[in-house]
Structures are given as C-alpha cells and as structure tokens.
Amino acid sequence: MRNLSLFSEFAEFCSHRSTAVLFVSIVSFAVLLPLFPQQKSSSFLIVNAQLADGTGAPLRKANVRIVLNHIAEIGDLQPQKDESVVDAKGLVLAPGFIDIHNHSTDGLLTDPLAETQIAQGITTVVQGPDGDSPWPLIAWIRTIQQLHTAPNVAVFAGHATIREQVMHSDYKRVATPQEIQQMEQLVGQAMNQQALGLSSGLEYEIGGYSNTAELIAMCKVAAAHHGIYMTHIRDEADKSFEALHEEIEIGESAHIPVEHSHIKLGTVGVQGKAAAYIQVIENARKRGVDFMADCYPYDAWHSNLKVLVPDKQYENSQTVRKALDDVGGASRITITEFKPNPSYSGHTLANLARAAHVSDVDMFIRLIREGDAAQTEASIICQSMIESDIKAFYQQPWVMVASDGGIGASHPRGAGTFPRVLGLYVREKHWLTLPEAIRKMTFLPAQRLNWKDRGTLRVGSFADIVLFNPDTVIDNATYTNPTALPTGIEKVWVNGILVWDNGKPTSARPGEFLGTNGTPIQILN
Ligand SMILES: [Zn+2]
C-alpha cells in the first residue's frame, strides 16, 4: 500500500502539468532567468577588507562591488554616487561558508531564519545527509521555497529513505533484485528533482542492512545524473578500515565522486591510526577515485545509542561491555535526549548507572529497552576521538569543514563549527593558514558539488559573502549550551542581501533552493 501511495504521490505531482512543465523549463533556463530577489537589492561597495577569496591564495587587499545578487567588480574601486559603502578595515572578506553536511531538514520548517547557521557565516546548508532525506523531495523543496529561508538550501536523496519507500518495515535484510531495481528508479526520480546525489548512513538502522552491491547499483544511477555519493560509512570504530575499503569500492565500481562524511577514528582500537587511514585514501586517489572528506572540529561525536554496538546485539552483555570499552568507558557517553525519560539528559551513562545501582552494561540495556518500548532511541554525545587524528585529517588538502550539525543541534558543532576552526585551529593552534581554512569552507565544498558560481570571491559569482574579524572570531557553543552564538562574524550576505549584521539577524530571508549546479531553482505552483 505504501508503494502505491508513493507512486500516486508522484503521479499527483505529474498531474499538475503546469507545475511539471514550469519546473522543467525553469530548470533548463535557470541561469537566464531573473533570480527572484525577495528584497530590494542595490549596488554597494565593501572597502578596506583583506580578501580570502576561497582558492587558498594569500590574503590581499581589494574592494568588492556587489550588484543585485552577484559580485560585479573586485579591485581598486571608488564608490559611485549614492552607492552605500561598507568599511571593512581590519576584517577579512570571504565567500559564504557552504555546509555540505547539515541537519536542518525539519529545523528550517520552524526556523527559516536559521540564526545559529547564518551567525557562523554559513550561507548554504546542504540537507539530506546520512541516508536520511525528505521525501518526496519535490514537496519538501516547494515548502522550503514558500517559507523563504535565510541561507540557501540544497539537498541529497537519502539511501535509507529510498530503501524504506521500497521495503517498508521489512528492511532488516538484503534487498531482492526487484527491490533494488525499484530503488534505482527512485534515485533517478530524486536526481531529476535536483538532488545533489545519494547519501548513505550505513551505521544506522535501515541503511545498515544493505549490502555493497545495492549501494553500487544505486550509485550508478546517481553517477549517470552527475551526482555524488556522500556517505556515513558502515563503521567508524574497530572496523573503520573495512568500512573505508567498502566506500572506495563503491566509488570505484560506480564511477562516482565520493564525499566521506565526518571522517573520524572513533574508538580506542583505531585511535592514532590517521596516517594509515589517510594512506588508504591517498592510494585510492592515485588510482583515480575522486575521494574527498569532511570533518567537524570536535573530539566527541553525537548520534544514537545503538551505533555504539555495530553488530546490533544490543542486549548481549559481552557485546555491550566491549562497545563501552571501545570508546573508553561509560563516562565518555553523555545522554543528550531521551524522550521516555527526559531527566536522563545531561548525564553520563556511568552516572546514570551509579544512581540506579546497576552496572554500566545493565544501564545501557535498560536504555535500549525503554527506548524500544517507546519506539525511540537515546541521543548521545560520545567523546572518543583524539586531537592528533583530527589535526592529521584537517591538514589533508581534500578534507573540508562541515558541521554535521544544524538548527537546534544538541552538539555544539551545530552553532560553533566554522568560527571554531577559524579561532581555534587557525589562530590559536596554527594547524591551518587562514586562506587554507577558508578554502575548506568554501571552494572545496563547491568543487565537490561541481558548483562553479559559489565558493569563491570572483566577478560573476553569487554574492554569498561573510565578513569576520580574524582576531576575535571564535565559537561559544558548548556541550551544556550548544546553541550559543559565536563571536567575530560581523556581516553575512546571501545572494547580495545582508542577513547577519553585527551580532544580530537582519530578518531578511533571501536564501534560494539550489539545484544540482548551485544556481537557484524555482518551482512555482
Ligand atoms: Zn553521520
């Protein structure tokens, strides 16, 4: 029945012939159309800024003129008559940050202003990571456009989302050839609806039951539509290397560019092995695999309780004991949300066990059972990465910055990621130069997505830009106050419209829905 309803939804979409036709025609001519500015735009000039242009080139001084939603001129420019001027003395002007792994699919619906995102300098939030996307995409895209968001929005199609459309609740097995064929069709449909590619979350419930062949089959369809494969791999713990090899095999077999989500080595057993991990990736890149990765600047991850137990034996004491040991013990695990018992939030698993006078393992199993009974799972933060690995990853030229956070995230990366890299890893620790850090936030994600007109400061680019103070920029979000806004991001423009000004949102919402080439796509009703 679900199957039927899916196809009837699609049929319903197709039956709105005018919509479909308009969609297709605007997709074809998107670049030629006026780009639907929602606020009054005019020319303005930014003077005295140091430019970090996104390419990694050294900072240079130049003035930048914005006309409507584009960068019109860069150079030694004088203000024109009646032109407004922004004096950026002491500040750095950079392309707006593109967050390729952002969890705001629902958040945007209630908070289209996305204050915690634009406050970081993020001008584009890419949705649908970890195998989980809105569905059908076209309906969600239309909703996003009707809402008007402050940042630009783009979206991946989720592997688990599509898998569930086909297999429904009977997903705890390998798919049949017929089912894989249906999934391939839905990937094609999503790609036609402007998905950037296929995302997967193979450490999670639904996606985790797929085999490599299923993923290759679906990736081939995405590749045929010039999409990319963005993946949270099957294991980020003791089997990290096996999972990496599977990811490379998928990229190689499907001839698809690969984006490795939130690269990490997340257990005691693999900590310190970044150099070997990087070597495997370098070898693949030398063979021609188009492999890139993103990394968030924290030593703790945020996910669900069950991901701690890769073999899914959640009530087997021995397995659970090993899972807890692997991350350094129950004191490393903090519950951030648990609907059946909200009072657990903010406590470590070790503390909860002590308070309940049970072992850590028994407390874990209790949380699993209480969660299962309520058809939910505890959200957790787990501190299991080490700094030397994070540093090694960040220093690779193919590793970009992404938050894995989003609106309302209960991990500080949701409100802190980009300023944290600039303040902590650039200014304080000197892991990266400022131009290189900016490249990882702008040009590199744009290059990954094959977007030509965003991610660099150059004439003709969309005017997604951020102005920040390199001496003060820093994150303020913490594990106890994860939505605290950062310091030092002075002004942010999206498509030429000021959305963030001196510590506050302007309330403008000029974000566009971006299609596969990074240009605005308008779906009209
Ligand atoms: Zn993930």
Measured in angstroms, how far is the CA atom of residue 258 from the centroid of ligand 1? 14
Q: Tell me, what's the pLDDT at 310?
A: 81
Measured in angstroms, how far is the CA atom of residue 232 from the centroid of ligand 1? 5
Measured in angstroms, how far is the CA atom of residue 183 from the centroid of ligand 1? 21
Q: Tell me, what's the pLDDT at 324?
A: 95
pLDDT tens for each residue of 6-34: 333 333 333 333 333 334 334 433 333 33
- Residue 286 sits at the vertex; the CA angle it makes with 517 and 294, to the nearest 5 degrees, is 50
The span from the CA of 157 to the CA of 128, in Å, is 6
Measured in angstroms, how far is the CA atom of residue 35 from the centroid of ligand 1? 33
pLDDT tens for each residue of 404-438: 999 999 899 999 999 999 999 999 999 999 999 99
pLDDT tens for each residue of 91-121: 999 999 999 999 999 999 999 999 999 999 9
Q: Tell me, what's the pLDDT at 29?
A: 36
Measured in angstroms, how far is the CA atom of residue 323 from the centroid of ligand 1? 18
> Is residue 86's pLDDT more than 80?
yes
Q: Tell me, what's the pLDDT at 389?
A: 97
Strand intervals (E) in 278-389: 291-295, 300-304, 333-337, 379-383
Number of alpha carbons in the 13 Å side-chain half-sphere of residue 11: 6
pLDDT > 70: percent of the chain: 92
Q: Which residues surround ligand 1, an ion (CB under 5 A)?
A: 130, 232
> Is residue 3's pLDDT more than 50?
no
Long-range contacts, 169-177 (Cβ 8 Å, 24+): 171/205, 171/206, 171/209, 172/209, 173/209, 174/209, 174/210, 174/211, 174/214, 175/210, 175/214
> Is residue 504's pLDDT more than 60?
yes
**Mapping DSSP to helix (H, G, I), strand (E, B) and coil, where does residue 304 land?**
strand
Q: Tell me, what's the pLDDT at 522?
A: 81
Measured in angstroms, how far is the CA atom of residue 31 from the centroid of ligand 1? 33
Q: Tell me, what's the pLDDT at 524?
A: 65
Q: Tell me, what's the pLDDT at 237?
A: 87
- Regarding pTM above 0.85, the answer is yes
The span from the CA of 296 to the CA of 8, in Å, is 40
Question: What is the residue-averaged pLDDT of the chain?
Answer: 92
The span from the CA of 197 to the CA of 137, in Å, is 12
> Is residue 163's pLDDT more than 60?
yes
- In degrees and rounded to multiples of 5, residue 39 shows phi and psi of -120, 165
Section 129-145 average pLDDT: 96
Measured in angstroms, how far is the CA atom of residue 248 from the centroid of ligand 1? 17
Section 289-318 average pLDDT: 94
Measured in angstroms, how far is the CA atom of residue 4 from the centroid of ligand 1? 30
Q: Tell me, what's the pLDDT at 42?
A: 79
> Is residue 2's pLDDT more than 90?
no
Measured in angstroms, how far is the CA atom of residue 451 from the centroid of ligand 1? 23
Measured in angstroms, how far is the CA atom of residue 311 from the centroid of ligand 1? 18
Measured in angstroms, how far is the CA atom of residue 401 from the centroid of ligand 1? 14
Measured in angstroms, how far is the CA atom of residue 237 from the centroid of ligand 1? 13
Measured in angstroms, how far is the CA atom of residue 360 from the centroid of ligand 1? 25
pLDDT tens for each residue of 324-347: 999 999 999 999 999 999 999 999
- Tokens standing for 111? 């908070």
The span from the CA of 75 to the CA of 98, in Å, is 25
Section 138-158 average pLDDT: 97
Lowest mean pLDDT among 18-22, 74-78, 134-138, 229-233: 18-22
Measured in angstroms, how far is the CA atom of residue 152 from the centroid of ligand 1? 21
Measured in angstroms, how far is the CA atom of residue 185 from the centroid of ligand 1? 25
Q: Tell me, what's the pLDDT at 479?
A: 83
> Is residue 39's pLDDT more than 60?
no
Measured in angstroms, how far is the CA atom of residue 479 from the centroid of ligand 1? 18
**Mapping DSSP to helix (H, G, I), strand (E, B) and coil, where does residue 214 land?**
helix
- Tokens standing for 41? 């735009």
**Mapping DSSP to helix (H, G, I), strand (E, B) and coil, where does residue 180 land?**
helix
Q: Tell me, what's the pLDDT at 121?
A: 98
DSSP state at residue 467: E
The span from the CA of 163 to the CA of 292, in Å, is 25
Q: Tell me, what's the pLDDT at 14?
A: 35
Measured in angstroms, how far is the CA atom of residue 157 from the centroid of ligand 1? 14
Q: Tell me, what's the pLDDT at 159?
A: 98
